Structure 1
Amino acid sequence: MTALIELTDTLSMAGQIQPADVAQLAAAGYETIICNRPDDEEPYQPSMDSIEDACADAGVAFVRYPVNAFTFPGNDLAAMDDAMNSGKKTLAYCRSGARSTNLWVATLAGEDRKTAAVRASQLGIPLSFVMQLGS
């Protein structure tokens, strides 16, 4: 399984996961998995449908919110805020984890956003997507 990086006590990010990873994530207490990666971004990546099916089998909620550089931050950032900052143990994934981290920072405001930006910086994650928003 790809490495998970904790952003908060309840939110982690990761690069691309596999359907077989979902049972392990559920066993580790993850209640929600968010996909921030469009299907067919690269050859042979697992589809959102395959991850969603694995989530259904494991009793984990699955949220589809794929974005790329042209569509960031997506059309419903409030829904992403609800999913990422729900207080439930959540994993957001994309190709490398950077896009998911940028979305997390984008969902926040004020001091929370500044704190999140510092956390991203500590992890070596560039906030290039968030910077496009003028943040």
Structure 2
Amino acid sequence: MFRQITDSVFASPQIGIDAIAEAKALGIVRIINNRPEGESDDQTPGEDIEAAAREAGIDYIAIPVTHSGFSQTQVDAMEQALAVDGPVLAYCRSGTRSTLLWALARAKAGDSPAVIASKAAGAGYDVAPIRQLIEMLSARG
């Protein structure tokens, strides 16, 4: 279920409470929820995942991303959320928004767009829809 993007970053489709044990077994230290609450009737509420994560000793942060796109505030928040000592798991409906937000945060930090695209592709995600933005952020980084 969890797709490994880098040694310390995993992306996933919507998780449930049962996924917390798997995250703990992988050494995940922070879960990042990139899904807005109430996006679909079948999603596990973020507060339930947060409670289970914290009970398991895993930090939890919500950086909701709607289908309308990404803001600088979200990119900055993701960059800060990734700056932790240990692996993180980011999730949304399919894992795509989480991966794209990771890509933007890494571009802002100055990572190579080609390397970002390759790592995302290795996990089964395509950054082509935001490649131009990745190039721009990387050039500024």
Shorter-normalised TM-score: what interval? 0.7 to 0.9
Instruction: Report how many residues are paired.
Output: 133
- CA distance 1:20–1:122, shift in 2 (3 Å): closer
Bigger mean CA offset, 67-76 vs 87-96: 67-76
Q: Which residue of 1 aligns with 2:84?
A: 86
The alpha carbon displacement at 1:134 in A equals 6.6
Q: Which residue of 2 aligns with 1:117?
A: 117
Structure 1: distance between partners of 2:124 and 2:4: 13
- CA distance 1:111–1:60, shift in 2 (3 Å): closer
Q: Is the 8 A contact 1:23 1:54 kept in 2?
A: no
- CA distance 1:67–1:58, shift in 2 (3 Å): same
The alpha carbon displacement at 1:28 in A equals 2.3
- CA distance 1:32–1:117, shift in 2 (3 Å): same
Q: Which residue of 2 aligns with 1:21?
A: 19
Q: Which residue of 2 aligns with 1:97?
A: 95
Q: Is the 8 A contact 2:16 2:49 kept in 1?
A: yes
Structure 2 residues not aligned, in runs of 5+: 136-141
Higher-helix-fraction structure? 2
Q: Is the 8 A contact 1:103 1:130 kept in 2?
A: no
Structure 2: distance between partners of 1:92 and 1:17: 10
Structure 2: distance between partners of 1:96 and 1:74: 22
Aligned-pair RMSD on alpha carbons? Answer: 2.1
- CA distance 1:75–1:8, shift in 2 (3 Å): same
Q: Which residue of 2 aligns with 1:65?
A: 63
Q: Report percent identity of matched pairs.
A: 33
The runs of at least 4 consecutive aligned structure 1 residues that moved more than 6 Å come to none
After superposition, what is the alpha-carbon deviation per residue over 1:91-131, rounded to whole angstroms, capped at 9, x for unaligned? Answer: 00111111111001100234433311122234442225524
The alpha carbon displacement at 1:38 in A equals 0.7
1:127 aligns with 2:127: yes
1:38 aligns with 2:36: yes
Q: Is the 8 A contact 1:31 1:88 kept in 2?
A: yes
2:8 to 7, 10, 34: 10
SS in 2 for 1:33: strand
- CA distance 1:22–1:134, shift in 2 (3 Å): closer
Q: Is the 8 A contact 1:11 1:85 kept in 2?
A: no
- CA distance 1:129–1:48, shift in 2 (3 Å): farther
Bigger mean CA offset, 124-133 vs 76-85: 124-133
TM-score by length of 2: 0.82
